Amino acid sequence: MAGLSTQENISHQAVNEGTDYRFALGSLTTLFFLWGFITCLNDILIPHLKAVFDLSYGQAMLIQFCFFSAYFLVSIPASKIVEKFGFQKGIVIGLLVAAVGCGMFYPAAFSHSYPVFLSALFTLASGITILQVSANPYVSALGPTVTASSRLTMTQAFNSLGTTIAPFFGAYLILDQASSAMSASESAAAVQLPYLLLAASLLVLAALFAWLKLPEVEQSKSTAQKESQEGSIWQHRHLIFGAIAIFVYVGAEVAIGSFLVSFLSQENIAGIGESEAAKYVAYYWGGAMVGRFAGAVIMQKIAAGKVLAFNAFSAVTLLAVVIFSDGMIAMIAILLVGLCNSIMFPTIFSLAVTKLGKYTSQGSGILCLAIVGGAIVPLLQGFLADIVGIHVAFILPMFCYLYIAYYGLSGHKIQHKNIEN
């Protein structure tokens, strides 16, 4: 899962380019790894809590709804927190809030209450949102400005590494333990140890970032604030279409990942247990990690819009195969969609903010709010699966990718009257 991005103008204060920031940068990299790891664990929680509480698919997808709605509801308050306390303290606050969310899984399991689980997920996601609003500027600050993009690319790769490893962690510590439980209460308790371990890790990181001496970073915003009062950002068609593309992309990616364990467990697909199926989720997210490196090379020679459209049409084709086939063919097709996802988020984002000029920062905020698609699309697919079955329900992400293909071919093109001079 791509991290929340920002295009804020940042000025570095007293940053000595000769200073060795490797330890601090390594510490920040753990944040990207950890929030990718935690986000992907939702794909394991969904089938687990669905079985524990005997939920419908629609009810189970409330997990993603509560998690990703935090991006929409907390992003603006998080920016206010960072504005008031600074980026480093913002990271510490985000880590502490996320640790509280992980800790809430213990009473949620003890009380055997699905609403408490959902509250824990929202609290956890709120902390991650604050982290994402805080961390990217620090990565940019730790070293020369000319290499900032390469540092951000590296940290995003570690985010993908987290999403690749998390399914194995969840399979062994949650689904394996739940399968040997004698009652629903014991099965619910399988989440207590993993999330307590995560809470402890977050608290250790909070202490580390409270102690670290990181460079001070400010947003250069006075000019942008004055300029933002002139004209309107809504005149930029390619940005608005891009926000829709981010919405449907994140929604489709999260929805597919959310259904993978249940889909692969079906007798007419792989017929394997949930714990074994969870390990295959790593191939879905791992494909996205591999594809990012390949896409970075390919897009040096081929226009980004064309690559985006090709990947989107490939995803549509693979989902058509999933809907109309069974067994190993459907299994391989659904996992390959992860490879198609690889370049979509950064490509859509970069195309959407192209030539926004003074509106770049504001446009980035709109695109980040569009991540709420990860809350809405999986929920809709869950209700659809309850009506037409899990197989046919994949038609929803198929339509999402069709829109992304349109954006890659035409929707990203800039109308000349909107170009900033």
Cβ atoms of 242 and 352 within 8 Å: the answer is yes
Q: How far is CA 266 from CA 172, 226, 260, 273, 379, in A?
A: 20, 57, 10, 9, 20
Dihedral in degrees, nearest 10, Cα atoms 293, 298, 299, 303: -150
Q: Are 212 and 232 found together in one domain?
A: no
Q: Which of 168, 200, 220 is the last residue of a domain?
A: 220
Q: Are 44 and 156 found together in one domain?
A: yes
Q: Helix, strand, coil proportions of the chain in percent (round to 5)?
A: 80, 0, 20
- Alpha helices by DSSP H, listed for 268-326, are 274-298, 304-324
Q: Are 112 and 132 found together in one domain?
A: yes
- Identify the DSSP state of 175: I
pTM, entire model: 0.85
CATH code for position 114: 1.20.1250.20
Say what the pLDDT of residue 224 is. 42
How many Å apart are CA 237 and CA 348, to the nearest integer?
A: 14
**Residue 392, both tokens:** 């046919």
Say what the pLDDT of residue 357 is. 78
Q: Are 399 and 307 found together in one domain?
A: yes
Q: Are 401 and 262 found together in one domain?
A: yes
Q: Are 131 and 213 found together in one domain?
A: yes
Quote the strand ranges of 174-293, DSSP E: 216-219
Cβ atoms of 380 and 58 within 8 Å: the answer is no
Say what the pLDDT of residue 218 is. 56
Cβ atoms of 32 and 3 within 8 Å: the answer is yes
Q: Which of 220, 235, 266 is the last residue of a domain?
A: 220
Q: Which helix (H) or strand (E) holds 80?
A: helix 62-85
How many Å apart are CA 273 and CA 261, to the nearest integer?
A: 9
Each of the 421 residues of the chain gets a pLDDT tens digit; together they read 655 544 444 444 434 444 556 777 777 888 889 989 999 999 999 999 999 999 999 999 999 999 999 989 998 888 888 878 887 899 999 999 999 999 999 999 999 999 999 999 999 999 999 988 787 666 656 666 555 545 655 677 788 889 999 999 999 989 988 887 767 778 888 999 999 999 999 999 999 889 877 666 555 444 444 444 456 788 889 999 999 999 999 999 999 999 999 999 999 999 999 899 999 999 999 998 888 778 877 877 888 899 999 999 999 999 999 999 999 999 999 999 999 998 898 889 888 888 887 777 678 778 888 999 999 999 999 999 999 999 999 999 999 999 999 999 999 998 755 544 4
Burial code of 282-303, b = ≥16 C-beta within 10 A, e = fewer? bbbbbbbbebbeebeeebeeee
How many Å apart are CA 58 and CA 378, to the nearest integer?
A: 8
Say what the pLDDT of residue 127 is. 95
Q: 14: phi > 0 → left, psi -120 to 50 → alpha, else beta; which? A: left
How many Å apart are CA 136 and CA 180, to the nearest integer?
A: 42
Greatest CA separation for the chain: 68
Q: Are 193 and 94 found together in one domain?
A: yes
Q: Are 112 and 158 found together in one domain?
A: yes
Q: Are 270 and 312 found together in one domain?
A: yes
Q: Are 197 and 336 found together in one domain?
A: no
Quote the strand ranges of 164-296, DSSP E: 216-219
Overall number of domains in the chain: 2
Q: Which of 155, 190, 220 is the last residue of a domain?
A: 220
Domain span including residue 411 = 226-421
Residue 13 backbone dihedrals phi, psi, to 5 degrees: -105, 125
Q: Are 344 and 395 found together in one domain?
A: yes
Q: Are 212 and 233 found together in one domain?
A: no
